[in-house]
Amino acid sequence: GESVGLHLPTLSVQEGDNSIINCAYSNSASDYFIWYKQESGKGPQFIIDIRSNMDKRQGQRVTVLLNKTVKHLSLQIAATQPGDSAVYFCAEKGNTPLVFGKGTRLSVIA
Amino acid sequence: KAGVTQTPRYLIKTRGQQVTLSCSPISGHRSVSWYQQTPGQGLQFLFEYFSETQRNKGNFPGRFSGRQFSNSRSEMNVSTLELGDSALYLCASSLALTGVNEQFFGPGTRLTVL
């Protein structure tokens, strides 16, 4: 079946540095992509989304980049803070319900 | 505005038993989706309900079922529990059918099958 995301890697960054989390998707029919943040003991929390007619979207300290040519999605977090430590999931939607990647664990080193 | 609530938060069952989990969506939200989250498989879609009707179903056996009530509250049921059903079960609500509407997740129900 369709799959999204990479195996669950861990990304460690120094507080104040920028973080880049990557995601690959396989369904070329997907037209809507979302990044979620999940902290321990909580459900996923919406961060930012992007539709396939865009290649970049910015939020508060976060930017999502979409490269449809190589079916790649990335989340950039500026000036990473300890509160950003969590597991980050990308999700895609096209002609199917949301499909989630396995996630990336972000650890912020103070 | 209250968020998505799920009850119970933690549950321990034994193999062969059945379990019912409950989800109350955000007020005004009519779509409820259920997901299973495990370390090995990640977040997997179970089913989605809208206006008391199942609109989409994931690739899970018939032991997994659900329903939605007229007040949009939803329940999911797992019968004949297996060890592999141990997981975090997440419920998410949105204003309408997913796709262009942001989904809001509850804290989940942690199910342990012994």
Q: What is the pLDDT of residues A52-89, one digit of tens each?
A: 999 999 999 999 999 999 999 999 999 999 999 999 99
What lies within 8 Å, CB to CB, of A30 at 6+ separation is A52, A92, A93, A94, A99
Measured between beta carbons, the chain B residues lying within 8 angstroms of A100 are: 35, 42-44
Q: What's the rounded Cα separation, in Å, for the pair B85 and B38?
A: 9
Q: What's the rounded Cα separation, in Å, for the pair B87 and B89?
A: 6
What lies within 8 Å, CB to CB, of A83 at 6+ separation is none
Residue A100 is which amino acid?
Answer: F
Tell me: pLDDT of A6 over 50. no
In this structure, what token pair is assigned to residue B46?
Answer: 């179970």
Q: Any chain B CB within 8 A of the CB of A50? A: no
Q: How many residues does chain A have?
A: 110
Residue carrying the six token digits 């970049």: A56
Nearest-by-Cβ selection for B105 from A1, A43, A96: A43
CB contact under 8 A, B42 and A100: yes
Is B21 in a helix, a strand, or coil? strand
Convert the pLDDT of each residue in B18-69 to its tens digit.
Answer: 999 999 999 999 999 999 999 888 899 999 999 999 998 999 999 999 999 9
User: Which of A84-88, B68-72, B99-103 has the lowest average pLDDT?
Assistant: B99-103
Cβ contacts below 8 Å, chain A against chain B, sum to 50
Tell me: pLDDT of A4 over 80. no
Nearest-by-Cβ selection for A46 from B44, B90, B102: B102
Nearest-by-Cβ selection for B42 from A42, A97, A103: A103
Residue B85 DSSP label: G
- Per-residue confidence (pLDDT) for residue B101, from 0 to 100: 66
Closest chain B residue to the Cα of A42, Cα to Cα: B107
Q: What's the rounded Cα separation, in Å, for the pair A34 and A89?
A: 8
How many C-beta neighbours within 10 Å does residue B56 have? 16
pLDDT, chain A, mean: 90
In this structure, what token pair is assigned to residue A13?
Answer: 């960054």
